[in-house]
Amino acid sequence: MPTTRPNNIREARRKGHVDNIENVETKLKLITLFRENNNYIPLNKMPFCYFARFNRALAYMGKLKYAITNEMNTILSQHETINYGIIVRLSEPLQQERNDILPSNNSFNQQHEKCQVTLQETENEVEEHEKNKQRVKRWLVEMKSK
């Protein structure tokens, strides 16, 4: 008889679809989950994210906050925030690299070229302004002398 997919965490626990946080496979699944979620997940959403991704309930002893500290101390770190409560982050060496944070080198070069062009235009405008200023001074001197 094929097993049906559980609809919620409670049903997953009842059917035995449970991953214990102490197991190495579960820890690897959690690392994968964090990498897929930009290296962090709010603590209160961890069990739901785990169930949504793997269709299994995350089992731990006591409170999740302390279970993470005890079982995954070097892998995950917890940070308290004002708006989101506690955020759990993946440790630096395990984080997935993100290439979308910094602009590409080509983009930087294009911006640099635009700045150079703008700077040159500004310098030209200043020179033109100085020339006009000198013309006006000469004209004023000529007008006074007449």
In tens, the pLDDT along 52-89 reads 999 999 998 889 889 888 888 888 888 888 887 888 88
**CA 40, chain centre distance (Å):** 9
pLDDT (0 to 100) of residue 112: 63
Collapsed DSSP state (helix, strand, coil) of residue 4: coil
Two structure tokens written together for 119: 């700077």
Asked whether 12 and 56 are in contact (CB, 8 A), the reply is yes
Q: Phi then psi for 116, rounded to 5 degrees?
A: -65, -45
Distance CA 87, CA 111 (A): 36
Beta carbons within 8 Å of 54's beta carbon, 6+ residues apart: 19, 29, 33
pTM as predicted: 0.61
